[in-house]
Chains A and B, each alone.
Chain A
């Protein structure tokens, strides 16, 4: 493990002075670069089974990667600009689009911020409902991520099992909110609907079974000797590098930094639950792949505690006053712990129905920055294992 950040890495696009005005200019990766004859440039993506909605420009020398230039932006849809043209309520359905699997968590900081701008207090029952929704969504997201991690390593059973078990929780969310993935459940002032009748019993049963199922993954995936030999000591990110590169979430916690927004800055009722913040020391791909799996078990614990502590009755939403008389320009920044790490939302309000400016600080983009540093010197076979262990969701990074 090096304590110093490998600053000698130069990315492919930064090596050449890009002169876009010249007639034969081509985007990075497509332009013919004068490189060593031994170096082969590979475009991994966007039409590649191992890339997602993005492109990695990889230069390989034999089987070793000498440089990697991530090229996101293929699914940029201008969420932040769109938010400036819609009022605070109509922003809800489109703001969850970047990560539809984690749609409660990506709305969470926005909703918290709007509540602080309005200065309204959320009913106690709604806070617990939000925690339940957010934790179930975290599990749904991590299961999807885990399935793709399995198939990236060539483990087709690990693709099918999480995709199937994820249905348990999707059914729960469908009962709770009426939609399978894009719930639009969190609104400023609470949640949209109350729970259906008998939800607590169904939820407890499904979550207990889910917990039992995810423990079985250890036998087929996490304790698998081939998996361990492939991911141990590959793509090692030291504690200092993880902090200096600004990574977050499971990547940061796998490198030995105990940082969980739910613990450090508890929002809503997270300070009332007894749960662990998973930290591993190794900082390699194996640790990064194991932290989200252990996170899911903690999420199950939180859901079960929340089902016990939730007030049995009460309103779940406060009425919003139309166009509150504002205080002029006002800003708010809120962050939550999403399935990928700390997800922040910065809102600038000018006391109009629409936000003046909305900025999403997404964990995916922050984790992607570590990729060129991790991939340098790795073998090509390690590329999917390191890339997807960063807990990166291409659509969220592009926003």
Chain B
């Protein structure tokens, strides 16, 4: 039963709509269009197929798919597409969002519950969107004695650092935002920022529980960074490079987890600790220190930290795939694009639509290898994420002293065993730099 406001009048409603449309049009014509043209005056327009892409030409391309394909091709090769959409932030955020949903449903099944169910009709698939809207609409409350600039900046920095981490991940051959020769070193540098941001956020809140949580996070991250770095030395020794794309290529025959299982296990455990996942969620231990270093964060500041931590989760899982599971390498399962469409075009009743730029698009940018590599990468990453989520259903939280004991004595010892295995493989001639020989 719908309830209409008692003084509701249809004519008044339509009039208000028309008024809104009138004002929107007026503001767009008087302010919006001049602004668009001023921007267009300032930027360099791309040249596609020998023609300058003016706004008029771009609009005319929209009705002609034959001429649209070169524009898409040009856009796919720009840096901005790589940073924003694929394989950068958009791709990672999409995967992170699906991880949150899968985690909730999986934990619910493990704990004999239903989990998100109502939002979005089908199994609560829109729950995350609802939560996001709720967080955005919440008031941001800042403690009176907080150091306000740092308190505001810390969640933003957290997401930015996580996004920088994502930029290092090669998803498919040639598809990486920052393909640098010191990729692994850059990764070590990026994860070094997280404890600093955490302690900044915790300290600036000027509150007791965030402070304890921040100190715990600092303990945990610093003491687990050492086994984290040492566990990857074996891979670096065997491949002889720090470039993540080259490390992936070196695993075309065998993933390194076959030869370096101890390194993989150590890296996985340290990954759980760096991500503050159960059983290492001491910085956010609810029953001891409320929500740890997140206690004073509210509204979208909290949402940003959550987004950042799930981006970080994706990035760590992807790094595990790249270093130990062979990255994009895998049997070719994506079928080839039908030749007929490229050569003869698509028959649409009486007309035959020929797509001219399609061949160069398919052979240069969206190749079969790229699609196949992306598919294998996503599948492997999903598998690793599954194993990252799983301990949350089975383990309680560990204590600080047990955690530090694990990090400083046991894991570092295992790291050295792993390094000796790598050295043994190297000097016995079984494997050499550059992969299986």
Task: Identify the A interface with B (CB < 8 A).
Answer: 40, 42, 48-50, 63, 150-161, 164, 220, 224, 226-227, 229-230, 379-384
**Contact string against A for B residues 277-289, beta-carbon threshold 8 Å, 1 for contact and 0 otherwise:** 0110110011111
B290 lies within 8 A of A48 (CB): yes
Please tell me which one of the listed residues A40, A154, A160 contacts residue B285 in the complex, with CB atoms under 8 A apart. A154
Q: A49-B286, A50-B286 are in contact. Are A164 and B396 (CB under 8 A)?
A: no
Q: Report the minimum CB–CB distance from B113 to chain A (whole Å).
A: 6
Q: Do B288 and A164 touch across chains, with their CB atoms under 8 A apart?
A: no
Distance in Å: Cβ of B357 to nearest Cβ of chain A: 53
Q: Which of B397-414 contact A (CB under 8 A)?
A: 397-402
**Given known A154-B396, A230-B398, A384-B288, contact A160–B113 (CB-CB < 8 A):** yes
Contact (Cβ within 8 A) B112 A164: yes
Task: State the Cβ distance, B411 to closest chain A Cβ, in Å.
Answer: 16
Q: Which of B279, B395, B398, B400 is the one whose CB lies under 8 Å from A63?
A: B400
Cβ A224 vs Cβ B395 within 8 A: yes
B112→A50 contact, CB < 8 A: no
Quote the shortest CB–CB distance from A153 to chain B (angstroms): 4
Which chain A residues border B290 with CB–CB below 8 Å?
Answer: 48-50
Chain A to chain B contacts (Cβ below 8 Å), 10 pairs: A42-B209, A63-B400, A152-B287, A156-B111, A157-B393, A157-B394, A159-B111, A160-B112, A226-B397, A381-B288
Residue of B nearest to A148 (CB): B287
B107 contacts the other chain (Cβ, under 8 Å)? yes
* Contact A155–B286 (Cβ < 8 Å): no
Q: Once the chains bind, are B400 and A230 in contact (CB under 8 Å)?
A: no
Interface centre among B286, B287, B395, B401 (most CB of A within 10 A): B287
Q: Which 7 A/B pairs are nearest by Cβ-Cβ distance? A: A154-B397, A50-B287, A160-B111, A155-B396, A153-B396, A384-B287, A381-B399
Q: Which of B288, B289, B394, B401 has the most CB of A within 10 A?
A: B288
- Tell whether, in the assembled complex, residue A154 and residue B287 are in contact, meaning their CB atoms are under 8 Å apart: yes
Q: Report if A220-B285 is in contact (Cβ < 8 Å); known contacts: A154-B279, A381-B399.
A: no
Minimum CB–CB distance from A345 to chain B (whole Å) comes to 33
Say yes or no: A154 contacts B399, CB within 8 Å: no
Interface contact A50-B111, CB-CB below 8 Å: no
A154-B285, A158-B396 are known contacts; what are 12 more A-B pairs with Cβ within 8 Å? A40-B208, A42-B208, A50-B287, A63-B400, A150-B396, A152-B287, A157-B110, A160-B111, A160-B113, A161-B111, A161-B112, A229-B399
Q: Considering only CB atoms, which chain B residue lies closest to A50 in the complex? A: B287
Contact A49 B395 (CB under 8 A): no
Q: How far is the CB of A152 from chain B (nearest CB, A)?
A: 4
Highest count of chain B CB atoms <10 Å: which of A152, A154, A220: A154
Residues of B within 8 A of A (CB-CB), count: 29
Interface string of B94-132 (1 = CB under 8 A from A): 000000000000010011110000000000000000000
Q: How far is it, in angstroms, between the C-alpha of A229 and the C-alpha of B396 when the chains are bound?
A: 10
- Give A296 Cβ to nearest chain B Cβ, in Å: 18
Task: Give Cα A106–Cα B111 distance, bound, in whole angstroms.
Answer: 31
B212 contacts partner chain A, Cβ-Cβ < 8 Å: yes
Secondary structure class of chain A's binding surface, majority of residues? helix
* Chain A residue at minimum C-beta to C-beta distance from B113: A160
Give Cα distance in the complex from A146 to B289, angstroms: 21
- B67 CB–A CB distance under 8 Å: no
User: Residue B399 contacts which of A49, A150, A382 (CB distance < 8 angstroms)?
Assistant: A382
Contact partners of A227 in chain B: CB under 8 A? 396
Interface residues of B (CB under 8 A from A): 107, 110-113, 208-209, 212, 278-279, 281-282, 285-290, 392-402
In the complex, which residues of chain B have a beta carbon less than 8 angstroms from the beta carbon of A161? 111-112
Cβ-defined contact, B400 with A226, below 8 A: no
A230 cross-chain contacts in B, Cβ below 8 A: 396-399, 402
Contacts of A229 in B (CB 8 A): 398-399, 402
- For B405, give the chain A residue with the smallest CB separation: A229
Contacts of B289 in A (CB 8 A): 380
| CB atoms of B396 and A224 under 8 A apart | yes
Quick one: given A156-B392, A156-B393, are A379 and B113 in contact (CB under 8 Å)?
Answer: no
Question: Roughly how many angstroms separate A166 CA and B332 CA in the complex, as a whole number?
Answer: 51
Q: Whole-angstrom distance from the CB of B249 to the nearest CB of chain A?
A: 39
Is the CB–CB distance between A49 and B208 below 8 Å?
Answer: no
Residues on A with beta carbons closer than 8 Å to the beta carbon of B396: 150, 153-155, 158, 224, 226-227, 230
Contacts of B288 in A (CB 8 A): 50, 380-381, 383-384
Residue in chain A with minimal CB distance to B281: A154
Contacting residue for B107 out of A150, A156, A224, CB 8 A: A156
Minimum CB–CB distance for A51 against chain B, Å: 9
When chains A and B are docked, how far (Å) is the Cα of A223 from the Cα of B407? Answer: 23
- Chain B nearest CB: distance from A83 CB in Å? 35
When distances are taken between beta carbons in the complex, the residues of chain B under 8 Å from A160 are 111-113
Check if B398 sits within 8 Å of A226, measured CB to CB: yes
Q: Which chain B positions have C-beta within 8 A of A384?
A: 287-288
In the complex formed, the residue of A with least CB distance to B395 is A226
State the Cβ distance, A355 to closest chain B Cβ, in Å. Answer: 39
Residues of B within 8 A of A379 (CB): 399-401
Query: Which residues from B are CB-within-8-Å of A155?
Result: 395-397
**Minimum CB–CB distance for B213 against chain A, Å:** 11
- The closest CB in chain A to the CB of B285 belongs to A154
Q: How far is the CB of A30 from chain B (nearest CB, A)?
A: 14
Interchain CB contact under 8 A, A154 and B286: yes
Q: Which of the listed residues B111, B392, B396, B400 has the most CB atoms from chain A within 10 Å of its own CB? A: B396
In the complex, the chain A residue whose C-beta lies closest to that of B398 is A226
